[in-house]
């Protein structure tokens, strides 16, 4: 812990790839005062990143920033070995292609400083597979953000057989310093945690629309006006703990536990066939079709930023024996 | 539409039952300027409601209210027929016992004015069953709130075979006038919508804790720091529409649709056995055990109220062809 902008030794971050996720990380790192080295082979990489920063600068954890000030912290290096040279952290955001990422991490591992944290934004691959071609994958971790990474606090940290525990600790400190909420999974599971939960909700959402219970727009309205606010404020277990009254979760299980398995049997498992997709797309067109992607995305970002601030997610992090204590 | 406090003809509401749900409705109705007639056989009903108002007055849609001012709008009537006499709306919150509610609605139907809306807070029973013993169940609807009803905007409206369409329209107008978000289900389904979605998320949450991927506290932290904020800001379909980039939901289905069914096969279906419950309760005790129900509930209410205001749920209601247009 020294005088680095994020409270760790980290001063220079290499961001590999400038898709949506890479751009979000770049904006966040720059807003925290890091030097950000962008690695992309796109000839228009600089213009592309600058354009994205015009949008992203409005929704940063520290409040709106000056896009030009953020861009001033950028360096551009199309060669990956030179991009990670001297970097304290490398955030990789290449396409979800195992062979491609294995090759990338072999080259990153050979060129990055020994102390650098090597972090992959992958949502599907595991550290042991990603590092298969590295001499020492001890400092390679999955650090999976939730889109957009400059707005949503969560970073799911997944370790491998050969991960160095000190690298986990440093990774958690790094993201906490950036105002994120890193959670270290106790073991790896396909899809990690947040996307599995999201998938479970989507399955039932598609089922209910398919069955004609509600429309796409009505389902969204139900979620934003009920469980969304509840889960932004308290997670599912705390919600049911309080749902049990003064007797808490124990009382809740005693009274509703027996009915749980039965109620799960009644949940849907819809086919994602042509008819189902057509129905959803027609209703989505009716609901969102009149507005552009940019309008809708800007509205989502502004709302979500307000919600996150209101929930005070970061202020409370760690209260309940979170991963900072554990790592 | 006249000069009534909630923009409808409704001036007097009878609230049947003073459990958590009844108390929340009573606080909300009183804060909107209605006369609230409390029907309960509890000898301490008045003291009980006044005590609850001390807590509830802090978290009302219009901002904090004076508990004594709210309580001044209350009348207490232990006889149900006299309680609904002259009432414009009856909100029933009796225990989930079909025979009991059928008897109650038979008596309510016989004593309430012909124009009164007869609304049940039930989370499991349907209007046709509830009104089986009524001469005319045309103005009986299910109006299921999400706990706590004075804070969470959603009210799920469920109609029956014999429901009068005008009663649906008036019910929607009544709740909108109170600042709620009523959504009329297109057809009834067990558990309605929000609780089914919640149940789907809980199933996967219990699975992940049972499998040792995360603890109870970590799972809650993951939800509050990712999907909670997302779903408070935008519902699942809008989120995936934006996840598809400028190509929208169509692009998203084209690229991920095929993998959806496969990913659903990998989701959990845990037994709710003794070992699972014991594991969850031990972790819940570690996470929440140090704090009282009152502390945790007050914190949840304050956060959730801030989140709902930040998401601006009500301001946007109806943008996407919501139920107000449909009813």
For residue A325, what pLDDT band results from cuts at 50, 70 and 90?
very low
Q: Do the Cβ atoms of A163 and A129 come closer than 8 Å?
A: no
User: What is the pLDDT at residue B62?
Assistant: 83
Name which of A203, A215, A309 is nearest B310 (Cβ-Cβ): A309
- Contact state of B320 with A217 under an 8 Å Cβ cutoff: yes
Q: Do the Cβ atoms of A261 and B293 come closer than 8 Å?
A: no
- Contact state of A191 with B228 under an 8 Å Cβ cutoff: no
Gap between the terminal Cα atoms of chain B: 16
Name which of B152, B181, B193 is nearest A208 (Cβ-Cβ): B193
| E-assigned strand segments in A108-179 | 117-120, 140-145, 154-158
Instruction: Tell me the sheet residues that pair with A157.
Output: A143, A184
Instruction: Tell me the sheet residues that pair with A89.
Output: A13, A117
Name which of A196, A229, A237 is nearest B232 (Cβ-Cβ): A229
A272 phi-psi bin (left φ>0, alpha ψ -120 to 50, beta other) = beta
Name which of B194, B204, B214 is nearest A227 (Cβ-Cβ): B194
Note if the bond before B148 is cis, omega within 30 degrees: yes
Contacting residues for B323 by C-beta, under 8 A, at least 6 apart:
A218, A221, B157, B172, B182, B183, B184
Contacts of B124 in chain A (CB under 8 A): none
CA gap B55, B75 in Å, rounded: 19
- Contact state of B260 with A200 under an 8 Å Cβ cutoff: no
CA gap B92, B13 in Å, rounded: 10
Name which of B227, B240, B288 is nearest A194 (Cβ-Cβ): B227
Name which of B269, B271, B311 is nearest A307 (Cβ-Cβ): B311
Q: Which is more confident, B44 or A319?
A: B44
- Contact state of B241 with A266 under an 8 Å Cβ cutoff: no
Nearest CA in chain A to B279: A250
User: What is the pLDDT at residue A178?
Assistant: 94
Which CATH fold would you assign to the domain B12-192?
Rossmann fold (3.40.50)
Burial class (CB in 10 A: 0-12, 13-18, 19+), B162: middle
Q: Which is more confident, A7 or A125?
A: A125
- Contact state of A306 with B303 under an 8 Å Cβ cutoff: no
What are the residue ranges in chain B where pLDDT is below 70?
A: 1-5, 7-8, 313-327
Contacts of A154 in chain B (CB under 8 A): 222, 225-226
Please compute the mean of the pLDDT values over residues A6-31 and round it to a whole number: 92
Q: Please state, for a pLDDT cut of 90, what percent of chain A lies above it.
A: 83
Question: Which residue is listed with tokens 């009834």?
Answer: B188
User: What is the pLDDT at residue B2?
Assistant: 41
Please compute the mean of the pLDDT values over residues A167-178 and round it to a whole number: 96
pLDDT at A274 exceeding the cut of 70:
yes
Q: Do the Cβ atoms of A91 and A25 come closer than 8 Å?
A: yes
Contacts of B227 in chain A (CB under 8 A): 146, 194, 197-198, 201, 231
Question: Which residue is listed with tokens 């490398």?
Answer: A90
CA gap A155, A145 in Å, rounded: 5
CATH number of B195-290: 1.10.1040.10
Contacting residues for A44 by C-beta, under 8 A, at least 6 apart:
none
User: What is the pLDDT at residue A318?
Assistant: 39
Nearest CA in chain B to A124: B263
Tens digits of per-residue pLDDT, A142-161?
A: 999 998 999 999 999 999 99
Nearest CA in chain A to B244: A293
Please compute the mean of the pLDDT values over residues A112-118 and round it to a whole number: 97
Chain B: nearest CA to A118, how far in angstroms?
22
Name which of A222, A231, A249 is nearest B224 (Cβ-Cβ): A231
Chain B: nearest CA to A127, how far in angstroms?
16
Nearest in space to B42 (alpha carbons), one of B71, B62, B15, B63:
B15
Nearest CA in chain B to A235: B220
ipTM of the complex: 0.93
φ, ψ (nearest 5 deg) of residue A125:
-100, 155
Name which of A245, A312, A320 is nearest B287 (Cβ-Cβ): A320
- Contact state of A235 with B250 under an 8 Å Cβ cutoff: no
Contacts of A271 in chain B (CB under 8 A): 261
Tens digits of per-residue pLDDT, A214-241?
A: 999 999 999 999 999 999 999 999 999 9
CB atoms under 10 Å from CB of B190, counted, come to 10
Contacts of B238 in chain A (CB under 8 A): 220, 287-288, 296, 300
Mutation pick from B182, B217, B292 vs chain A, by most beta carbons of A within 10 Å, is: B217
CA gap B49, B82 in Å, rounded: 19
Mutation pick from B150, B153, B154, B233 vs chain A, by most beta carbons of A within 10 Å, is: B233
User: What is the pLDDT at residue A4?
Assistant: 67
Contacts of A272 in chain B (CB under 8 A): 253, 257-258, 260-261
Q: Do the Cβ atoms of B327 and B163 come closer than 8 Å?
A: no
Question: Which residue is listed with tokens 């096969």?
Answer: B265
Could you state, in order of their start, the residue ranges of all structural domains in chain A?
12-192, 196-290
Name which of A186, A219, A258 is nearest B237 (Cβ-Cβ): A219
User: What is the pLDDT at residue B314?
Assistant: 41
For residue A177, what pLDDT band results from cuts at 50, 70 and 90?
very high
Which CATH fold would you assign to the domain A196-290?
1.10.1040
- Contact state of A220 with B204 under an 8 Å Cβ cutoff: no
User: What is the pLDDT at residue A7?
Assistant: 63
Contacts of A236 in chain B (CB under 8 A): 198, 201-202, 205, 219-220, 223
Contacts of A308 in chain B (CB under 8 A): 229
Nearest CA in chain A to B289: A248
Contacts of B233 in chain A (CB under 8 A): 224, 228, 300, 303-304, 307
Name which of A197, A215, A312 is nearest B204 (Cβ-Cβ): A197
Contacts of A52 in chain B (CB under 8 A): none
Mutation pick from B222, B253, B325 vs chain A, by most beta carbons of A within 10 Å, is: B222
Helices B216-224 and A194-210 meet at what angle, rounded to 10? Answer: 70
Mutation pick from A155, A172, A231 vs chain B, by most beta carbons of B within 10 Å, is: A231
Gap between the terminal Cα atoms of chain A: 16
The pair of three-digit structure tokens given for residue B262, joined into one six-digit string: 């496969």
Using CA atoms in the order B180, B183, B189, B194, what is the torsion angle rounded to 10 degrees?
-50
The pair of three-digit structure tokens given for residue A8, joined into one six-digit string: 């760790």
Chain A: nearest CA to B58, how far in angstroms?
16
Tens digits of per-residue pLDDT, B52-95?
A: 999 899 888 888 999 999 999 999 999 999 999 999 999 999 99
Please compute the mean of the pLDDT values over residues A63-84 and round it to a whole number: 95
Contacts of B248 in chain A (CB under 8 A): 284, 288, 293
- Contact state of A201 with B201 under an 8 Å Cβ cutoff: yes
Tell me the pairing of strands B35-39 and B12-16. Answer: parallel
Name which of B226, B236, B277 is nearest A205 (Cβ-Cβ): B236
């Amino acid at each position: 812990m020294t005088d680095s902008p994020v409270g760790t030794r980290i001063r220079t971050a290499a961001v590999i790839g400038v898709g949506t996720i890479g751009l979000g990380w770049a904006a966040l790192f720059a807003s925290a005062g890091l030097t950000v080295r962008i690695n992309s082979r796109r000839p228009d990489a600089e213009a592309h990143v600058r354009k994205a920063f015009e949008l992203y600068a409005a929704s940063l954890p520290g409040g709106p920033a000056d896009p030009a000030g953020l861009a001033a912290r950028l360096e551009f290096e199309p060669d990956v070995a030179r991009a990670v040279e001297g970097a304290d952290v490398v955030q990789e955001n290449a396409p979800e292609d195992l062979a491609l990422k294995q090759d990338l991490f072999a080259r990153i591992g050979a060129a990055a400083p020994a102390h650098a944290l090597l972090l992959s934004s992958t949502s599907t691959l595991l550290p042991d597979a990603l590092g298969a071609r590295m001499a020492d994958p001890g400092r390679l971790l999955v650090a999976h953000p939730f889109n957009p990474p400059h707005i949503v606090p969560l970073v799911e940290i997944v370790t491998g057989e050969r991960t160095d525990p000190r690298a986990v600790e440093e990774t958690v400190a790094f993201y906490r310093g950036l105002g994120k909420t890193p959670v270290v999974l106790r073991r790896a599971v396909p899809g990690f945690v947040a996307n599995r939960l999201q998938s479970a909700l989507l399955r039932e959402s598609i089922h209910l629309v398919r069955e004609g219970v509600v429309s796409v727009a009505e389902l969204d309205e139900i979620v934003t006006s009920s469980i969304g606010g509840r889960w932004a404020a308290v997670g599912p277990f705390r919600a049911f703990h309080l749902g049990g009254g003064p007797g808490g979760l124990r009382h809740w299980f005693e009274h509703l536990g027996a009915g749980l398995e039965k109620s799960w049997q009644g949940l849907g498992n819809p086919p994602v066939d042509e008819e189902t997709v057509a129905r959803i797309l027609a209703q989505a067109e009716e609901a969102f079709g009149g507005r552009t992607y940019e309008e809708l995305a800007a509205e989502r970002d502004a709302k979500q930023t307000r919600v996150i601030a209101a929930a005070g997610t970061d202020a409370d992090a760690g209260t309940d024996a979170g991963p900072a204590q554990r790592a």
